[in-house]
Amino acid sequence: MHIGLLYAMPEERQAFTAQLSTYQTRQIAGLNAYVTRIGAHDITLVECGIGKVNAAIAATKLIQDKPLDLIISTGVSGGINLDPESLVLAHSVAYHDVDVRAFGQYVKGQLPGMSPYFKADENTLQIALECAKKHGYKSYVGMVVSGDQFLTNSATLKDMMALYEDIYATDMEAAAVAHVATLENIPFLMIRSISDRLDAPSQIADFKIFLDRAAKRAAEIVHALVQSL
C-alpha cells in the first residue's frame, strides 16, 4: 500500500520523522517530501503549510506524483470540550466557514454540488480506534470541522453544532484534504491530537505548551495505525 501523509506545521512533521529509523527527502512540485517504509507500506509525507488552500494543493500534488491507496491527514487541533492530548478520529469532516444557505437547499458547511460532509474510510477508522485503545490513548470518534480561522470561541460553531452532535475538533486543513480525496476516490482518515481547548481562558498559552506533546501523540498513533494495516 502507498500512503500519503500530510502535516500542516514543522512541529507536526518533525514529531513523525523523529520516530523513523531512516527516510529520504525529495521534492514534489516544490514541496519538501519525506519518503520511508513502515512495515509493508510505502509512506510519502509532505508538510503542506497552514490553511485550506495549502492543504488542498499539497494533497493534489501528492496524488499526481504517484497513485495513493490511502491519505492520512494528521496533526494538532483545537478541541471542543476535550482536554489537550486527547485524540479525535474523524468519521467525517466538514467546512465550518462555508455558507450558501441563502440559496435555500443547502446546510451550513455544504458547497453546491457536494455532500454536507466528507466521510472517512470506515475500515481504517476502526483499525485506528483499536490502536488507540491498545496504546491507552484517550480517544474520541466524531467530526472535525475546518475553516481558515484559529477559533477561540465555540459559539462560532453554533450553526454547525445544531446540525451535528459530535463535533470534537476544529482545524484549518482536514476538510480540504478530505474534499480532494473524495473527488479523487481515495480513502482517507483524519487524526487530530488536541493541543488547546476552545473557550478556555488559557487557550493560546495551552497551544504553545501542548503543541509538541500533542504532535508527538498524533505521530505515535499514525505509526501504530500504519503498522496495523
Active-site residues, by number, are 12, 196
d(CA 103, CA 156): 21
8 Å CB contact between 55 and 177: yes
The residue behind cell 507536526 is: 12
β-bridge pairing 167-171 and 188-197: unpaired
β-bridge pairing 87-95 and 24-28: unpaired
Q: For residue 187, which of 117, 122, 141, 130 has the smallest C-alpha distance?
A: 122
